Amino acid sequence: MRLVFDNRPKPFARPWPIHRFIWAVRAHRNLVFWGDVEREPAPFEILEHPADVGFLAHGRTIEELFAHAALAMMSLGWELEGAGETLQREIQAEGQDLESLLYDWLSAILALADSERLILRRFEVNDLGRGAVRGTAWGERFDGSRHRARTYIKAVTLHQFQVRPSAEGWTARVFLDV
C-alpha cells in the first residue's frame, strides 16, 4: 500500500461539516493529511449470472493472471481460509492461444481437485511459453470436519470467456458451470 498525498481541492462541493469530516476520518485512519490510500486491485471479482457463476481475474503479468484465475475458481468452490498447504501438485496445460490455454489450465486444476478431493489455495506459474503452461499448486485434502464446501463446480465454460490486456496488466472473464 502506498500513501498518496493530494492537497488539491476536491472536485465536488459538499457542505463544510460532511466534506471535512469524511476527509478528516480518511486522513486520520490512513495517517495522511488530506490524502488517500492507493490500493492494489483485488486479484479477482465475482460476477453475477442467472444460471452459472463467474469471475473477473486480474494480474499485472499473464502468469499472475493465470494464478489469480485459479485462486478465484477454487475460492468459489471452497472456503480457503482454513486450508493448509501440506500437498504440492504440478499442473500442465496446452492451448492454441491465451484463451484456450487459460481454459485448459483451469480445467486441469478443476479435474485434479475433483479427482483427488483437494482444496488448492495457492498457485504459481513456473513456465508460460508458446502453447503450454506449467505451474505448481499447494493445498491439502478435503476434510469435511475442518473444511466447508461452497458451490460444486462441474466445469469451466466458454460462455463469454475472454482474456485481454488492461490498463493494469491483464484481465480474464470466466464463467463456471455449477
pLDDT class of 128 with cuts at 50, 70, 90: very high
Say whether pLDDT at 139 is over 50.
yes
Which candidate, 58, 126, 132, places its Cα nearest to that of 98?
Answer: 132
pLDDT score for 41: 63
Residues of the chain with CATH 3.55.10.10: 44-177
How open is the CA angle 130-61-124, to the nearest 5 degrees? 80
CA distance 75 to 130: 28
DSSP alpha helix (H) spans, the chain: 16-30, 62-77, 98-116
Q: Is the dihedral of CA 72, 75, 80, 83 positive or negative?
A: negative
Asked whether 1 and 28 are in contact (CB, 8 A), the reply is no
Give the burial string for 35-60 (b: 16+ CB within 10 Å, else e): beeeeeeebbeeeeeeebbbbbbbbe
Q: What percent of the chain has pLDDT over 70?
A: 77
CA distance 69 to 66: 5
Q: In CATH, what class is 44-177?
A: alpha beta
CA distance 95 to 53: 23
Torsion of CA 66, 69, 71, 77, to 10 degrees: -140
Predicted TM-score (pTM) of the model is 0.76
* Residue type, position 90, single letter: E
pLDDT class of 74 with cuts at 50, 70, 90: very high
Residue 86 is given by DSSP the state -
Least confident stretch, 4-13, 78-87, 122-131, 153-162: 4-13
